A and B are shown apart, each in its own frame.
Chain A
Amino acid sequence: MADLGKSAGDREPILEVRNLVKHFPLTQGILFKKQIGAVKAVDDISFSLYRGETLGIVGESGCGKSTVAKLLMNLETPTSGEIFYKGEDISKLSGRALKAVRRNIQMVFQDPYTSLNPRMTVGDIIGEPFEIHPDVAPKGDRRRKVQELLEVVGLNPEYINRYAHQFSGGQRQRIGIARGLALNPEIIVCDEPVSALDVSVQAQVINLMDKLQKEFELSYLFIAHDLSIVRHISDRVGVMYLGKMAEIGSDTEIYDHPTHPYTQALLSAVPQADPEGRESRERIILTGDVPSPANPPSGCRFRTRCWKAQDRCAEEVPLLAVPERFRDSGGGAAHDSACHFAEEKDVVGAS
């Protein structure tokens, strides 16, 4: 069981993912398609999300973090594994039952330029969810509801008849967030919600998301590659590498007491806005590139780039669990980490 984190207490998780697997088949031939392999985008991942908390998922391109988002949104069908929403496996649902669940899980996309229809007014974009779920807002009430939503995300309610191109990137992302909020969901999956925005606008959107979370007790699954932003917004953080979860724990555990070598390398590679520390900080520069997910290394997937790798790493897949040596320590290092040779290392200079 993963660490529960500070906001979770001992409540039931609102969303629980168990042994989730998504393989995209690689085929050969035209008439008689023969499967010659599979891209193992997500390979046996488990985590829980609690009410009102933010779980950050970090990882580099190709690690499978966006596929996880699509699986949670039921935009992709998992190859195997379960996704429990309040105790019910949503990956097997269809029809009316699926529609009811989807209402409660919404998504905010990365690119505010392509995720809003250029031919629809802002009012139509934000009000569209009501067409699908008419019980949330009766027809005569929709306009008022949309204006309320615009106000909630800090936009002028009078802009309801404007088109997306009349807004800046940050404002567009607010429209995307308003659309996500329309059906009063409990969970919002955010896939890189601020990475397309300028620095000064990024902070505005992050603060808005913080505020909305408190106001509506939302749970966020926050997928991003910017480690500083993820630390700022998350209660717990999971680090993914090549379709697997490498390490997961509270934000302090992951950032101040990372035990997985990949997390350590990732953190040490982040350029920090502190020129004084640049000489003293230890840099772990990884060699080579991420291997192909169609043909991942045996054993530990990180071993081909790991400076600690030994024979055992090629033979045995490390399990995601609290490493034995830290189990009774009670310190920050006692959290789930999938490494045979887990060692604590402070790479961001927190202490």
Chain B
Amino acid sequence: MLLEVQDLHVEFTSRDGLVNAVNGVSYAVDAGQTLAVLGESGSGKSVTAQAIMGILDSPPGRISKGKILFRGEDLLTMGREARRRIRGEKMAMIFQDALSSLNPVLPVGYQLGEMFRVHRGASRKESKAAAIELMERVRIPAARERVGDYPHQFSGGMRQRIMIAMALALEPDLIIADEPTTALDVTVQAQVMDLLSELQQEYRMGLILITHDLGVVADAADVIAVMYAGKIVEHAPVDALYKRPAHPYTKGLLESIPRLDRKGQDLYAIKGLPPNLARIPPGCSFHPRCPIARDRCAVDVPPLYEVAPDRSSACHYWKETIGD
């Protein structure tokens, strides 16, 4: 296994007290595989990714429990220098907002070349050539002329390609993409997702795709982990999950999005709001919003029940949910 997250807990200290952003998340990604982590704002999907990359703001954040194994080695017990070498070289991250992730006062070619200068000790001339090659690989037209341009001179789609190029520079084994296309228009989103999955195939990289968009997940993922209030509530192969969701939250999400290919009646709306992470409801954290919740749900924390050999659901009544 390329990456394995085991029972990860992350907490933040805040004015409201201790906020449990991640409460025992486990997932795994293999080379060449795409894992989609689906969740709404505050579900802990990005915090988990930050913990994997080692870029968690701490303090106030703190990993209180758990392991993150990269090729069997625990990143959390590793020395600083060893960890730094893995980051960038073996795993890289693509952020949502390319404009604020790129340095506005440095040419993009310089920023791309930095990867080679810092990690590979390349000369300025070599790194510039490598930057041009990377820009060509992510299909930026006239790369040779544009290597000296600044981030603001590129369109949103092109900036996101430069981010992809930067992540790919050292041919990492794992890419974490946090909402990589959320800020983009649909036609550009299609271009960028296409490019990303093509390059992933080419290099046989593992990809963790963090998103809230059920459409993007359906298109790109092999396996999905659905997160709610800092926990994985359902984990399944993509086809199975869309066909027969085994958790009421997943089911509600799927029913609440309008369809492009037909006009529906009223949308199903999950009642209520996502919980405040400083005061997560006892028992199943989804029970106040759940249409099938019973007394037991307010008391017993549901474990991840095995639904099928490769899928699980954290609902006491998953049989009922999957059945109809």
CB-contact partner of A349 in B253, B261, B273, under 8 A: B261
Q: Judging by beta carbons under 8 Å apart, are B188 and A289 in contact?
A: yes
| Chain A residue with Cβ nearest B253 | A199
Q: How many A-B residue pairs have CB under 8 A?
A: 134
**Complex interface bits, A246-275 against B, C-beta within 8 A gives 1, otherwise 0:** 000001100110000000011111111111
CB-contact partner of A200 in B40, B221, B258, B261, under 8 A: B40
B281 within 8 A of A: no
Q: Judging by beta carbons under 8 Å apart, are A203 and B218 in contact?
A: no
B210-233 at interface with A (beta carbon < 8 Å): 212-221
CB-contact partner of B257 in A273, A276, A288, A349, under 8 A: A273
Task: Pick from A199, A207, A256, A283 the residue with the most CB of B within 10 Å.
Answer: A199
Name the A residues within 8 Å of B193 (CB-CB). 271
A48 within 8 A of B: no
Q: Per DSSP, are chain A's interface residues mostly helix, strand or loop, or mixed? A: helix
Using A60-B185, A350-B262 as known contacts, say yes or no to A283 and B215 having CB atoms under 8 A apart. no
Smallest distance from the beta carbon of A159 to chain B beta carbons, Å? Answer: 14
Q: Judging by beta carbons under 8 Å apart, are B187 and A228 in contact?
A: no
Q: Judging by beta carbons under 8 Å apart, are A203 and B267 in contact?
A: yes
A206 within 8 A of B: yes
A143 within 8 A of B: no
Name the B residues within 8 Å of A232 (CB-CB). 258-259, 263-264, 267
B270 within 8 A of A: yes
Name the B residues within 8 Å of A23 (CB-CB). none
Q: Judging by beta carbons under 8 Å apart, are A199 and B214 in contact?
A: yes
Smallest distance from the beta carbon of A209 to chain B beta carbons, Å? Answer: 11
How far, in angstroms, from A285 to B196 measured CA to CA in the complex? 14
Q: Judging by beta carbons under 8 Å apart, are B186 and A225 in contact?
A: yes
B5 within 8 A of A: no
Q: Judging by beta carbons under 8 Å apart, are A275 and B242 in contact?
A: yes
A204 within 8 A of B: yes
CB-contact partner of A271 in B158, B215, B258, B264, under 8 A: B215
| Chain A residue with Cβ nearest B183 | A61
CB-contact partner of B261 in A204, A289, A348, under 8 A: A348
Q: Judging by beta carbons under 8 Å apart, are A198 and B274 in contact?
A: yes
Name the A residues within 8 Å of B257 (CB-CB). 199, 203, 228, 273
B16 within 8 A of A: no
B248-275 at interface with A (beta carbon < 8 Å): 252-254, 256-264, 266-271, 273-274
Name the B residues within 8 Å of A304 (CB-CB). none
Using A60-B185, A278-B219, A289-B155 as known contacts, say yes or no to A231 and B263 having CB atoms under 8 A apart. yes
Name the B residues within 8 Å of A278 (CB-CB). 218-219
Q: Judging by beta carbons under 8 Å apart, are B261 and A210 in contact?
A: no
Q: Judging by beta carbons under 8 Å apart, are A266 and B186 in contact?
A: yes
A155 within 8 A of B: no
Smallest distance from the beta carbon of A80 to chain B beta carbons, Å? Answer: 28
Using A199-B257, A228-B259 as known contacts, say yes or no to A271 and B270 having CB atoms under 8 A apart. no
B270-305 at interface with A (beta carbon < 8 Å): 270-271, 273-274
Q: Judging by beta carbons under 8 Å apart, are B269 and A200 in contact?
A: yes
**Complex interface bits, A218-246 against B, C-beta within 8 A gives 1, otherwise 0:** 00000001011101100000000000000
Name the A residues within 8 Å of B188 (CB-CB). 60, 289
Q: Judging by beta carbons under 8 Å apart, are B260 and A270 in contact?
A: yes
B57 within 8 A of A: no
| Chain B residue with Cβ nearest A60 | B185
How far, in angstroms, from A252 to B176 measured CA to CA in the complex? 39
B191 within 8 A of A: yes
Q: Judging by beta carbons under 8 Å apart, are B268 and A203 in contact?
A: yes
Q: Judging by beta carbons under 8 Å apart, are B267 and A207 in contact?
A: yes
How far, in angstroms, from A168 to B267 measured CA to CA in the complex? 21
Name the A residues within 8 Å of B86 (CB-CB). none
Using A200-B252, A200-B253, A348-B261 as known contacts, say yes or no to A227 and B269 having CB atoms under 8 A apart. no
**Complex interface bits, B3-25 against A, C-beta within 8 A gives 1, otherwise 0:** 00000000000000000000000
Interface residues on A, range: 35 or more
Task: Pick from A265, A272, A278, A288 the residue with the most CB of B within 10 Å.
Answer: A272
Q: Judging by beta carbons under 8 Å apart, are A285 and B190 in contact?
A: yes
Name the A residues within 8 Å of B268 (CB-CB). 203
Name the B residues within 8 Å of A267 (CB-CB). 260
Name the B residues within 8 Å of A251 (CB-CB). 263
Q: Judging by beta carbons under 8 Å apart, are A60 and B258 in contact?
A: no
B239 within 8 A of A: yes
Using A203-B268, A228-B260, A231-B260 as known contacts, say yes or no to A273 and B254 having CB atoms under 8 A apart. yes
Using A207-B267, A349-B261 as known contacts, say yes or no to A227 and B186 having CB atoms under 8 A apart. yes
Task: Pick from A168, A206, A266, A273 the residue with the most CB of B within 10 Å.
Answer: A273
Q: Judging by beta carbons under 8 Å apart, are A228 and B270 in contact?
A: no
Smallest distance from the beta carbon of B293 to chain A beta carbons, Å? Answer: 16
CB-contact partner of A269 in B189, B213, B214, B254, under 8 A: B189
B172 within 8 A of A: no
Name the B residues within 8 Å of A228 (CB-CB). 215, 257-260
Smallest distance from the beta carbon of B13 to chain A beta carbons, Å? Answer: 21
Name the A residues within 8 Å of B218 (CB-CB). 271-275, 278
How far, in angstroms, from A274 to B259 measured CA to CA in the complex? 10
A98 within 8 A of B: no
Q: Judging by beta carbons under 8 Å apart, are B190 and A199 in contact?
A: no
Name the A residues within 8 Å of B261 (CB-CB). 255-256, 272, 348-350
Name the A residues within 8 Å of B88 (CB-CB). none
A202 within 8 A of B: yes
B41 within 8 A of A: yes
Q: Judging by beta carbons under 8 Å apart, are A60 and B274 in contact?
A: no
CB-contact partner of B215 in A171, A268, A272, A289, under 8 A: A272
Q: Judging by beta carbons under 8 Å apart, are A198 and B256 in contact?
A: no
Which residues of B approach A to under 8 Å, CB–CB? 40-41, 141, 155-158, 185-191, 193-194, 212-221, 238-239, 242-243, 252-254, 256-264, 266-271, 273-274
Return the 3 tightest CB-CB contacts between A and B, nearest first. A271-B215, A232-B258, A203-B256
What would 18 A/B residue contacts be, using CB atoms closer than 8 Å?
Answer: A168-B273, A199-B253, A199-B256, A202-B256, A203-B268, A204-B271, A206-B258, A206-B267, A228-B257, A271-B218, A273-B242, A275-B238, A275-B242, A278-B218, A283-B194, A285-B191, A286-B190, A348-B261
